[in-house]
């Protein structure tokens, strides 16, 4: 059964919309099999976004994930594992395109994401492929922190 990693990013924590985001994801009919509050380290942030190495915006994304642009204590990120048929595509569809200005208005990013100056703040992360999902879940969760169904 397919699994995916979801992160609620600092802008969404600051806006107090994590419950609202989870409500939208809940309605997709998947199982939540892992959930935790994480104090993000720069090391984990860089490992998570390893595929962005060389991109001009990488350092900004790391600062954003570390909470430097939002009023959030302890570098907090909320992390989840969802499991179910087509979990990756279902969640990616619900969160919308990366750029909140291009995301469909009814998606999570389209509804709540925005640019602050030139920093993209798009509220959520969700894995893009099964390979990425398994790598990402292993970075954020110990095996015993995730239920098997």
For Mg ion, the binding residues (CB under 5 A) are 128
* Angle (deg, nearest 10), helices 87-95 and 18-26: 130
Q: Is the dihedral of CA 97, 101, 106, 108 positive or negative?
A: positive
125 is catalytic: yes
Q: Considering only residues 11-50, where is the footprint of ligand UDP by CB under 6 A?
A: none
Residue 90 touching ligand UDP (CB under 6 A): no
Q: How far is the CB of 148 from ligand UDP (least distance, A)?
A: 26
Q: Does 61 bind ligand UDP (CB under 6 A)?
A: yes
Q: Choose the binding region for ligand UDP from 36-44, 66-74, 118-126, 141-149 (rule: CB under 6 A).
A: 118-126
With CB under 6 A as the contact rule, the residue among 122, 136, 140, 146 that binds ligand UDP is 122
Q: For the residues of 21-40, what is the DSSP string, one character each?
A: HHHHHHTTTPEEEEEEEEE-
Question: Which residues of this chain interact with ligand UDP, rule CB under 6 A?
Answer: 57, 61, 98, 120, 122, 125, 128
Indicate which residues carry an active-site annotation: 125
């Amino acid at each position: 059964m397919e699994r995916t990693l979801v992160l609620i990013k600092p802008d969404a924590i600051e806006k107090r919309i994590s419950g609202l985001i989870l409500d939208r994801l809940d309605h997709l009919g998947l199982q939540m099999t892992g959930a935790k509050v994480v104090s993000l380290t720069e090391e984990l942030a860089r490992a998570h976004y390893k595929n962005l190495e060389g991109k001009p915006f990488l350092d900004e994304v790391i600062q954003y994930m570390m909470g430097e642009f939002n009023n959030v204590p302890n570098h907090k990120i909320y992390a989840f594992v969802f499991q179910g048929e087509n979990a990756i595509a279902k969640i990616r569809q619900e969160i919308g395109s990366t750029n909140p200005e291009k995301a469909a208005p009814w998606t999570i990013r389209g509804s709540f994401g925005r640019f602050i100056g030139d920093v993209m703040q798009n509220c959520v992360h969700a894995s893009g492929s099964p390979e990425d999902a398994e790598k990402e879940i292993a970075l954020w969760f110990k095996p015993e922190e995730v239920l098997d169904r």
